[in-house]
Amino acid sequence: MKNIVIFGAPGSGKGTQSDLLIKKYGLYHISTGDVLREQIALGSELGKIAESYISHGKLIPDDLMIEILDDVLSKHPESGIGVIFDGFPRTIKQAEALDELLAKRNSQLNVVLGLEVEEEELVARLLNRGKTSGRSDDNLETIHKRLDVYKSQTTPLKEHYMEQGKYVAIHGMGAVEDIFACIQEVVDAL
Ligand code: ADP
């Protein structure tokens, strides 16, 4: 069983590399961004709350986000085979909650793959995605807010996981296949 966090700034390629990981290793994929966008598309109460944060580039409050993740794990027992967590955790509190959620299921986190990409490249990728994504947060103003939130609230996780010996830096610039080759080396060695 392999539980993997794919970690990195908005636009670092978490979704792209997750797709390749699913194909290769058949793990269960949870993208918290996708879960929230599904709720927005459904027009649910949760979706309305989520949209009010996402469109401003803010994080959904920890307690709510943790409850959502717990719910997804419970509704998908197939996640017991191992999960790629994409977009979670984004705060230290979420990281601590993830440890508890996995422990409750007699499991634990194996590795954090940190996709490291220069900021200029991130902005260019997100603006490019914004041309077709239809996402309310892929515009220049919100992109800058998301990157600020990432720096202040999410980057401390790198240190947190380095202390636990779980963080592996992945150079996230260049060809998608070359980046995946680096990831594969790490995952195969787990
Ligand atoms: P990206 O990483 O490219 O910004 P995501 O799809 O992962 O895209 O997330 C989009 C938005 O969804 C975030 O900016 C945030 O508002 C919300 N979100 C996703 N995951 C979380 C989380 N773990 N905690 C709080 N908010 C989240």
d(CA 188, CA 190): 6
Residue 107: name the closest of 77, 127, 137, 128 by CA: 77
Strand 83-86 relative to strand 4-8, pairing = parallel
Q: Which two tokens stand for residue 48?
A: 């309305």
Any residues with Cβ below 6 Å from ligand 1, and which? 10-11, 32-33, 36, 53-54, 57-60, 65, 87-88, 90, 94, 137, 146
- Which among 2, 93, 105, 129 is annotated as catalytic? 129
By most ligand atoms within 8 Å of CB, the mutation choice from 73, 129, 146, 150 for ligand 1 is 146
Contact 115, 14 (CB under 8 A): yes
Average pLDDT over residues 51-68: 96
CA Rg value for the chain: 16
Give the pLDDT band of residue 58 (cuts 50, 70, 90).
very high
Give the pLDDT band of residue 84 (cuts 50, 70, 90).
very high
Question: Tens digit of pLDDT for each residue in 8-54?
Answer: 999 999 999 999 999 999 999 999 999 999 999 999 999 999 999 99
Question: Tens digit of pLDDT for each residue in 127-162?
Answer: 999 999 988 899 999 999 999 999 999 999 999 999
**Element holding 112 (H helix, E strand):** strand 111-116
Q: Which domains does the chain have, with CATH numbers?
A: 4-184 (3.40.50.300)
Give the pLDDT band of residue 81 (cuts 50, 70, 90).
confident
